[in-house]
Structure 1
């Protein structure tokens, strides 16, 4: 888990974006993927100005494991934050490495209307999507309020 205070984060928007991209890229390099050999990293910035990262972790009961996004979200919750401002997801290959269905729902649980999901490759951001674009007509916590 990596948690930074807002005062420790770089101040400009582009530098913050670069910091999150680099954190996701670093997390991707630390993924434990002996079965799929498909490394994924994620980095989250929260509305409170904290940053968290995670990587995918596989085990012998493949395909059971933990996605990078789920790891970053777990770190975020452990750190006391519950609202994602931006999430960067990075994987190698020619195609977009978007969050799986389960991770889309996990991101949705902790997102707001302003949450942005940035899909990256080793060269940088390939596509940015709003939560609504990533998971339209989603079911969320507000649906359970009576």
Structure 2
């Protein structure tokens, strides 16, 4: 059974058409839900200089932070293909900056199955600000 509300699925499908993936051909869309309940969307944006590309999860998180919010309570990621793609390692780390480990992460393929996990299951030992708390940062 789907845990994705119809309005979120519709937004993901729309965003997927806006992804800029001319090099990989692998379009990805993401939506993060903030503590206020507002939805923020993003897409992957590739660049000919590959390291400068940005993932959809990062784009959505940047939208949220730019709007003045800093807490994610739920995440959806959609890609094309027969199986859902999970966030890459870098995106898992970015999400963990703004979301607790119990945050639901829903990975969807545009036409097929869904995978439902928590951020903690995807990134069990996230590097966090707790490692930076020391006498020099207090």
TM class, shorter-length: 0.7 to 0.9
Alignment of 1:116-135 (within 5 A): 116-123=104-111, 126-135=114-123
Gapped regions of structure 2 (runs ≥ 5): none
**Cross-structure match for 1:56:** 44
Query: In the alignment, which residue of structure 1 is the partner of 2:74?
Result: 86
1:117–1:131 contact (8 Å) kept in structure 2: yes
CA offsets, 1:48-104, max 9 Å, x none?
111100000112213530100010000000011111111100001123311111001
Q: TM-score, normalised by structure 2?
A: 0.87
Map of 2:8 onto structure 1: 20
| Residue of 92, 101, 120 corresponding to 1:104 | 92
2:22: which partner in 1?
A: 34
8 Å CA contact 1:23, 1:42 repeated in 2: no
Distance 2:25 2:111 in 1: 19
Conserved 8 A contact 2:30-2:41: yes
Runs of 4+ displaced beyond 3 Å: none
Partner of 1:43: 31
Q: Give 3-state SS (helix, strand or coil) of 2:75's partner.
A: strand
Uncovered stretches (5+) of structure 1, i.e. residues with no partner? 1-13
Distance in 2 separating the partners of 1:17 and 1:145:
38
